[in-house]
Amino acid sequence: RPIGYAIVGLGSYATRQIMPNFAGCDHARLVALVSGTPEKLQRYGEQYNIPATHHYSYADYDRIRNNPDIDVVYVVLPNSMHAEYSIRAAQAGKHVMCEKPMAISVAECQAMIGASRKAGKLLMIGYRSRFEPYNRLAIDLARRGHVGPTRIITSEHGFPIKPNQWRLDRPLSGGGSLMDIGIYSLNATRYLSGEEPVSVSAIEATDRSDRRFRTVEDRISFLLRFPSGIEATCVSSYSSAHNAYRVVGTQGWIDMEPATPYEGHAMRIRKDGVVSPRVLPAPSKNQFAGQLDHLAECIMNGTTPIVPGEEGLADLRVIEAIYRSAAEGRTIAMTA
Ligand code: NAD
C-alpha cells in the first residue's frame, strides 16, 4: 500500500502546497491530520476524505502511535516546535518529514537525529528544491563543470515580510530572514558545490526602529569559503524581493532567477561568450510530489533520503556560525 502521512500543523504551507500535491504522488497518501483547531480538522477532513478516527489535537498527538495507517509524520509547525514534535513522532514509532529550518539550534538537530536513530526510523528535511527539475539540472551542470570548474556562487533570497506573525517572534522562529528564507541561499551553495564551507563571514543590517524587527534580523549578508576554493556570497533579507543564484565557472555562468520558488523557475547559461536564452530540464513530477514520494520510496526500499536530518544539521551549523560572525565581527572557521 502507499505510505501514509499525517500532517501536523494545518497552516499556509501545509494546506496550500503540501496537501494538494498528494494527488500527484505515486507512493504517498494523506491519511491523518493534527491541528489545534477543530474547525480545520472538520474542513480538511471532509476535503481530503479523512475520517474523524484519524483527526488529532496537539493534546492527543501521542496517540498516533496506535494508528498503523500513519507511517510518516510531517511536521509543518513554527520552527521552534519542529524538534519537540519530530522527537515525539519518532518516539511514537513513526518516520519523520520535518520542514526547514530543521530546528532552531544545532543541539536540537542532534537530538532529533538521535531520536529517529533510536527508534530505527527515517528522518528527512523538507528541502523541496532538491526534487525540483531546474535545481536538479543546475546541480548536475555545476558539479560536471559545464561552465568550467565553479569559482563563485552568488545567491540572494528575500521578501518584504508582513508584520504580526510568528516569523517575527524569535521564541517561535529562532531568528529572522536567515532562518526562513536565507537558508535557501545557504542550502543552494552547499548543493551546487557539493562541499561544506570551511569559513564564514557575515554582517547584519537591521533597522531596529522598524516594528517588524524588534526581535529578529532583517538583512544578513554572508560569505562562505569552500575547500576547493569556491567562494559564495549571499544576501538574506526580510525587506526586499529577490530569489536567485548564479554559479560562475571559468568559462561562464549558470543563472537561476527565480531559483527556488514554488513554480516558474527560469535558467539561463552563458558559456564561452554565448548566452542560451532559456534552458529547460526534462519534464518530471513537481517538487512537492517528488519530495513526498522520495521519503515513501526510501521507506519501502530501506534506503536513506538524499536530504536526511544530517543535511538540516549541516545548515544549522553554518547558520549558527553566520550569526556568531555577525555578532562578533570576525570570520568563523568551521571545524569538522
Ligand atoms: P503558518 O503560520 O501558515 O502555519 C503554522 C501552523 O502552526 C498554523 O496552522 C498554526 O495554527 C500552527 N501552530 C501551532 N502552534 C502554534 C503556535 N504556538 N504559534 C503559531 N502557530 C502555531 O506557517 P507556514 O508558512 O505554514 O510555516 C510552517 C513551517 O513550514 C515553518 O517551519 C516554515 O519554515 C515552513 N515552510 C516551508 C516552506 C517551503 O517552501 N519548504 C514554505 C513555507 C513554510
Q: Please give the single-letter amino acid code of residue 217.
A: E
Q: Does residue 56 carry a catalytic annotation?
A: no
Task: Please say whether the beta carbons of 6 and 73 come within 8 A.
Answer: yes
Q: How far apart are CA 281 and CA 36, in angstroms?
A: 41
Best mutation site among 99, 169, 183, 287 for ligand 1, i.e. most ligand atoms within 8 A of its Cβ?
99
The ligand 1 site (C-beta within 6 Å) comprises 9-14, 36, 76-79, 99-100, 126, 128, 166, 172, 180
Ligand 1 centroid–CA 209 distance in Å is: 26
Q: What is the pLDDT of residues 31-68, one digit of tens each?
A: 999 999 999 999 999 999 999 999 999 999 999 999 99
Domains with residue ranges and CATH for the chain: 3-125 (3.40.50.720), 132-285+316-333 (3.30.360.10)
- Residue 52, C-beta contacts closer than 8 angstroms, at least 6 positions apart: 41, 45
Give the whole-angstrom CA distance, residue 199 versus residue 181.
21
What's the complex ipTM? 0.99
Amino acid sitting at position 157? H
pLDDT given at position 335: 87
Q: What is the DSSP letter of 102?
A: S
DSSP codes of every residue in 80-125: GGHHHHHHHHHHTT-EEEEPSSS-SSHHHHHHHHHHHHHHT--EEE
Mean pLDDT of 309-328: 98
Count of CA atoms in the C-beta half-sphere (13 A) of 148: 14
Decide: 94 and 73 in contact? Cβ < 8 Å.
yes
Q: Say what the pLDDT of residue 180 is.
A: 98
Spell out the residues 6+ positions from residue 86 whose beta carbon is closer than 8 angstroms to its own. 73, 75, 96, 98, 103, 112, 115, 116, 123
pLDDT in tens, 205-260: 999 999 999 999 999 999 999 999 999 999 999 999 999 999 999 999 999 999 99
**184 catalytic residue (yes or no):** yes
Cis preceding-peptide flag for 258 (omega within 30 of 0): yes
Give the ligand 1 atom nearest the CA of 40: 9
Report residue 278's pLDDT band, with 50, 70 and 90 as the boundaries.
confident
H-run or E-run covering 125: strand 123-125
Q: What proportion of the chain, given as a percentage, has pLDDT over 70?
A: 100
Q: What does the pLDDT look like over 305-314, one tens digit per residue?
A: 999 999 999 9
Tell me, what's the pLDDT at 279? 87
Among 100, 127, 238, 323, the active-site one is 100
Place of cell 554565448: 274
pLDDT for residue 158: 98
Tens-place pLDDT, residues 77-136: 999 999 999 999 999 999 999 999 999 999 999 999 999 999 999 999 999 999 999 999
